[in-house]
Amino acid sequence: MTDLLVVAGAPGSGKTTIARLLHAKLGGALVDFGYLREFHLDNEWSNASEREEAMAFENLLYIIRNYFRHGCAPVIVTDLQDFRVQEIPIHFRHDDFLIVTLVVHDDAELKRRVLIPERDSGYRDFASAIAWNRGVIARPAVQNEVKIDNTVADPVGAVEQILDLNPGWSNNPRSGKDTTKQL
């Protein structure tokens, strides 16, 4: 079974929703990188710094390794910036990992999602989200990365596609159980 599952994509691509649904199906641990960064980010994301983000990422690497050490799998990670997604194969080259990157092929739809008032992240910079999404679509896939079109916003269908990528997940005895808390 895959030890690490990264659910990536631009803001508004559906990664938080899909990561939560995967966690409900697979158990393990769910780590939303946004929670590690929120200690230093204000609600407008205007005070982000490279130093603070680097420290938060180092903490994330430690947390993932600690979950592995304690036999927790899969560890589901979401809310990474794309340059960090591209680093996953370097940091976890000796581990069984999968990166699922959600893309949206309609800029207007992505803008609509980013501007939904109920979004819990507070992120509202739709122009940056569109540029991020276009960059993800254009760049080649990294090792163990699968890009899934989530333009239609079908979280259940996307989860089924992801589960089909690893047959071991359907035999997971913890499937459907919430065995750890979300960070």
155-164 and 15-26 helices, crossing angle to 10°: 60
Q: How many C-beta atoms surround the C-beta of residue 179 within 10 A?
A: 11
Which residues, 6+ apart, have CB-to-CB distance to 43 below 8 Å?
A: 122
Strand partners, 101: 8, 147
Give residue-wise pLDDT tens across range 46-72: 666 788 788 889 999 999 999 999 999
Strand partners, 100: 7, 146
- Tell me the pLDDT band of 119, cut-offs 50, 70 and 90: confident
pLDDT above 80 for 180 = no
Q: Are 142 and 89 a contacting pair, CB within 8 Å?
A: yes
- Compute the distance between CA of residue 133 and CA of residue 145 in angstroms, rounded to an integer: 15
Give residue-wise pLDDT tens across range 129-142: 999 999 999 999 99
- Domain architecture of the chain: domains with CATH: 4-166 (3.40.50.300)
How far does the chain reach from its first CA to its final CA, in angstroms? 22
Torsion sign, CA atoms 177, 73, 82, 162: negative
pTM for the full predicted model: 0.88
Q: How many C-beta atoms surround the C-beta of residue 34 within 10 A?
A: 18
